[in-house]
């Protein structure tokens, strides 16, 4: 089974099982991100600086990578440290830094479920960059599978969740306190399109970089997150007066930082050993997790459109990764 078929070449069943478990964990973390951010809200707003959360996430990833190298979980390459190979990761850090900050700012202009659904537009941008930059051609079957993912997102956006007290998708404007209505502003839509373009480019560029370099993954991550910490430290310091680094943080906010850090490390493994397309399916499948958590935590109700979207995602996975 090849990477493009959803597997890992040369892996036995135990390792294949670990690979599958890793993808499932990443799916759960992606799906939980937006609802967890919503639980951080105080009076309808995120109480901490978005740059603080991103900086702490990058710092957590950097410390975990350094720890991995120090304890010998991954071997340090022989000879002099290949510092010259670190420079290209500066662009990756810049793209990821912009994207990570956009994720949190987007929450100001839309609700978590709308963000999760419309962010599936990154499917198209990633597939485009994947074909152009990596020179991979998708078969008609694979292209249809990606279109099904897009259709699943559109179906879900049409009414995957609704307020229990309303017969229409989404709660009415006068929704009861504590309930979050489905909404998006024009500025939010523009920012989301920008987010999807940057997401696709950053994913494909990082995949290309990691596969071309014959370095341990932890060392590549060390390069990437060192630039990430420096970049986001500058953004945080230059952001003007505002809450302190940890001001406004709660247990939910700490969970957001930890889950995003772990998910970033999991996704780097996908970039190194899998593909950007695998990442697309992880993000799309996380829609199911997001909807279930939104229903449980934000008191929104699942509808028939949600189950249809789930079916379309399942068909897309089968079509792309199933036997020819």
Please provide the average confidence, as pLDDT, over all residues in the chain: 81
Q: Which pLDDT belongs to residue 259?
A: 93
Residue 301 backbone phi and psi in degrees, to 5? -110, 135
Checking if the pLDDT of 288 tops 80, the result is yes
Segment (H or E) for 161: strand 161-162
The answer on pLDDT for 230 being more than 80 is yes
Q: Closest Cα partner for 126 from 205, 191, 49?
A: 205
Mean pLDDT over 203-221 rounds to 90
More confident residue, 45 or 207: 207
Q: What is the mean pLDDT of residues 181-185?
A: 74
Q: Which of 243, 121, 124 is nearest to 190 (CA)?
A: 121
pLDDT at 162: 59
Q: Name the packing angle between helices 217-237 and 89-106 (round to 10°).
A: 50
139-160 per-position pLDDT tens digit: 899 999 999 988 887 777 666 5
- Give domain limits for the chain: 18-38+55-73+81-163+181-237+246-322
Identify how many contiguous H helices and E strands the chain contains and give both numbers: 11, 2
DSSP string, 38-97: HHT-BTTB-SS-HHHHHHHHHHHHHHHHHHHHHTTSSPPPSSS--GGGGTTHHHHHHHHH
- What is the pTM for the complete model shown? 0.77
| Spatial distance between the Cα atoms of 135 and 217, rounded to a whole number of angstroms | 23
Per-residue pLDDT at 163: 58
Determine the Cα–Cα distance for residues 232 and 238; give it in Å rounded to an integer.
Answer: 10
């Amino acid at each position: 089974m090849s990477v493009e078929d959803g597997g890992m070449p040369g892996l036995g069943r135990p390792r294949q099982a670990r690979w599958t478990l890793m993808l499932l964990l990443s799916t759960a973390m992606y799906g939980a991100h937006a609802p967890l951010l919503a639980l951080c809200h105080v009076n309808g707003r995120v109480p901490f600086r978005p740059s603080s959360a991103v900086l702490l996430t990058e710092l957590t990833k950097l410390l975990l990578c350094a720890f991995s190298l120090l304890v010998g979980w991954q071997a340090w390459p022989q000879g002099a440290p290949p510092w010259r190979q670190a420079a290209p990761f500066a662009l990756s850090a810049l793209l990821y830094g912009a994207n990570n900050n956009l994720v949190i700012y987007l929450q100001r202009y839309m609700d978590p479920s709308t963000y999760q659904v419309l962010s599936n537009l990154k499917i198209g941008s990633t597939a485009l960059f994947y074909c152009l930059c990596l020179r991979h051609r998708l078969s008609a079957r694979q292209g249809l599978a990606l279109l099904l993912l897009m259709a699943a997102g559109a179906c879900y956006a049409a009414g995957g969740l609704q307020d229990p007290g309303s017969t229409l998708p989404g709660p009415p404007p006068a929704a009861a306190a504590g309930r979050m209505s489905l909404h998006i502003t024009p500025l939010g839509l523009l920012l989301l399109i920008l987010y999807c373009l940057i997401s696709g480019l950053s994913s494909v560029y990082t995949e290309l970089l990691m596969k071309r370099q014959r370095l341990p993954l932890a060392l590549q991550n060390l390069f990437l997150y060192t630039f990430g910490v420096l970049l986001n430290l500058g953004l945080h310091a230059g952001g003007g007066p505002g809450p302190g680094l940890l001001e406004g943080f709660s247990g939910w906010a700490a969970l957001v930082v930890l889950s995003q850090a772990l998910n970033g490390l999991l996704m780097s493994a996908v970039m190194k050993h899998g593909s950007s397309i695998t990442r697309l399916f992880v993000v799309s499948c996380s829609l199911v997790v997001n909807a279930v958590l939104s229903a449980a935590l934000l008191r929104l109700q699942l509808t028939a459109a949600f189950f249809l979207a789930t079916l379309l995602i399942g068909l897309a996975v089968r079509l792309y990764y199933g036997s020819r």
